[in-house]
Amino acid sequence: MLLCAEYVLPITSDPIEAGAVLISEGRIRDIGPVEQLRARYANEEIRDFGQAAILPGFVNAHCHMEYTVLRGMMHDEPYATWMGRVSALSSTLNAADLYDSTLIGGLESIASGITCAANIASSEPAVRAMNDLGMRGIAYREVGAMDGRRVNYAMRQAIEDIESWRGMVDGDLLQIGIAPAPLYECHPRVFTEAAKYAADTTPLAMHVASSREEYAFIKYGRTPFSVDAMKRRGYMEVPPWLPTGATPVNYALNWGAFEAENVTVVHGVHVRWDDIQKLRQYGVGVAHCPRCNANLGMGVAPIEEYMKAGMAIGLGTDSPAATDSTDIFAEMRIGMMVQRAVSSETNWFISSHDLLEMATIGGARTMHIDDQVGSLEVGKMADIIAVDLSGSHSTPTNDPCAAVVNTATPNDVLMTMVGGKALYDQGKWNIQAPFGSSVAQMIKTRTRLRRQCADTL
């Protein structure tokens, strides 16, 4: 099939005006000017999207689709308070809730142009939902233990789940990885053991240097996390947390957290230049979540420094409980504006194309799958989207990359394709999953959760 549009945005090469992409057997076979490809492949079926842009599907470098059901429950909360409420509400979700929540979150992702997601999962139903959706990505099994005596048990359970999940998913689309819980919820030996397990190239993701509270907790032994940690342990310690005097990056590094081959650091907001150099030395990628960071008052990630260090940077939508939506367009737009606003350099100015790269090939690089997806190149998988640029908010279009970043929304996505299969096309999903019943059940679950929220206020 020949996909045609006014613009083709390969990402790793210049935009093609009046372009086309040839796909066959799930892969990209050719790309170039539409007239050349039509003449070269005269017998191919043609799909013309008109005044639109064809580009690689978005790669969501970090998300929590299990929490889709929690969106809208907690507004105007700082990170530490929000985290406590999320933990309390999520603990009431059962297996069916987690499946439905992940499925609905995945459907919305696909309809907004996301073809690949790095999703933190706590349960088999969440992984099953991703598999049923036909999305590409990584499902990370989260593992944590506050008590050092329980680390071995927690790791055994995690490894059993990982091996089980690998047997139930389509391995051509989904990888299974491991994700240590946040630093303030883990005995440090979890990082050591998780990195050892991931030494075989198992993907590993971890939240590091995410917030001011985490930074103060690790380095100085204070903030609400120290008290919360004692409550979860079930006993008091004196002192409750021994300050390490180290930055979160150095703390994780001291316990061998980055020794694995495929490591993604989520957030990486509160880091120094020497921290960045250490992350670069270990080949660590960064999942940047600008809306979540801003909404919860976590801080602003030093993207300028990461870019100057030559690190792989992807964009993540993080938790719908924090941002209320899974919207890569909003992440690009807000991420760009925030970085421009805080930059202290007169000779550095982040561009629309920089953000579009982060949302596609950058995310693929952080996940170590850039040889398969993230750009339109011959031989890569046909994970492709078409974005309408005919609306008044998108015209006139002098720069298609800027138009996608500055004006487009999920409502402008015309088609989302994974491996040559259109999962979403002109407002309709082509997915073999019971999403009708999941929507109905999620409405009931949200009603129950709203009552719980009201009772706790």
> Which domains, ranges and CATH numbers included, belong to the chain?
2-56+380-429 (2.30.40.10), 58-366 (3.20.20.140)
pTM over 0.75: yes
Tokens representing residue 452 in the block: 């719980």
Tell me how far CA of residue 344 lies from CA of 277, 302, 329, 340, 341, in angstroms.
20, 11, 25, 9, 9
The angle, 0 to 180 degrees and rounded to 10, between the axes of the packed helices 189-197 and 151-168 is 30
What one-character-per-residue DSSP string does 85-102 give? HHHHHHTT--HHHHHHHH
* Residue ranges in the chain modelled with pLDDT below 70: 223-242, 455-457
Among 389, 390, 371, 391, smallest CA distance to 381 is for 371
> What is the identity of the amino acid at 319?
S
User: What does the alpha-carbon distance between residue 147 and residue 230 come to, in Å, rounded to a whole number?
Assistant: 10
Q: What pLDDT is attached to residue 440?
A: 87
Tokens representing residue 259 in the block: 């020794």
> What is the identity of the amino acid at 138?
I
Asked if 315 and 331 touch (Cβ cutoff 8 Å), the reply is: yes
User: What does the alpha-carbon distance between residue 69 and residue 237 come to, in Å, rounded to a whole number?
Assistant: 36
Q: What pLDDT is attached to residue 346?
A: 76
Q: What pLDDT is attached to residue 228?
A: 53
User: What does the alpha-carbon distance between residue 363 and residue 71 come to, in Å, rounded to a whole number?
Assistant: 24
Q: What is the pLDDT of residues 296-337, one digit of tens each?
A: 999 999 999 999 999 999 999 999 999 999 999 999 999 999
What are residue 176's DSSP bridge partners?
Answer: 139
Q: What pLDDT is attached to residue 239?
A: 46
Q: What pLDDT is attached to residue 233?
A: 46
Long-range contacts from 160-168, C-beta under 8 angstroms, 24+ separation: 161/124, 162/202, 164/124, 165/124, 165/127, 165/139, 165/141, 168/124, 168/127, 168/128, 168/131
